[in-house]
């Protein structure tokens, strides 16, 4: 498995276990790909998220203090556009709690079961 596939796999597995913030994707890219360039980190993050949204493996939104996940009611391209706009407005690399969180869908859960078999 190449390092990008490891990033994808680790992120999706994490999404099946809990709500996962955008910052986690960035961490995996820095850690597993040893990427340091902020533009590359952003491009890889957005591409990975777009891919998983289009495949229906994850959904985007924000957790509430009650534990409920409030999904963004946008199509994958709308989610990516919002993510990129808010990242621009943030003016820095997203950190814990910034912008958006992700959780797996039933299809994402099934994909992770395939990994584990």
Spatial distance between the Cα atoms of 48 and 117, rounded to a whole number of angstroms:
23
* 3 state SS for 47-91: HHHHHHHHCCCEEEEEECCCCCEEECCCCHHHHHHHHHHHHHHHC
**CATH assignment at residue 44:** 1.10.3510
Q: What does the alpha-carbon distance between residue 108 and residue 29 come to, in Å, rounded to a whole number?
A: 20
Stretches where the chain sits below pLDDT 50 are: none
Average pLDDT of every residue of the chain: 95
Domain containing 23 equals: 3-116
* Structure confidence at residue 116 (pLDDT): 79
Residue carrying the six token digits 């969180």: 101
What is the per-residue pLDDT for 1?
62
Our count of domains for the chain comes to: 1
Give the model's pLDDT for residue 50.
98
């Amino acid at each position: 498995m190449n390092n990008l596939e490891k990033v994808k796999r680790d992120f999706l597995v994490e999404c099946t276990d809990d709500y996962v913030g955008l910052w986690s994707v960035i961490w995996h890219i820095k850690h597993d790909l040893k990427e340091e360039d902020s533009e590359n980190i952003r491009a890889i993050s957005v591409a990975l998220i777009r891919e998983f949204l289009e495949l229906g493996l994850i959904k985007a939104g924000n957790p509430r203090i009650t534990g409920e996940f409030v999904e963004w009611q946008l199509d994958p391209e709308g989610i990516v556009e919002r993510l990129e706009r808010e990242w621009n407005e943030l003016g820095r690399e997203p950190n814990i709690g910034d912008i958006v969180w992700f959780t797996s869908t039933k299809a994402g859960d099934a994909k992770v079961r395939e990994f584990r078999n």
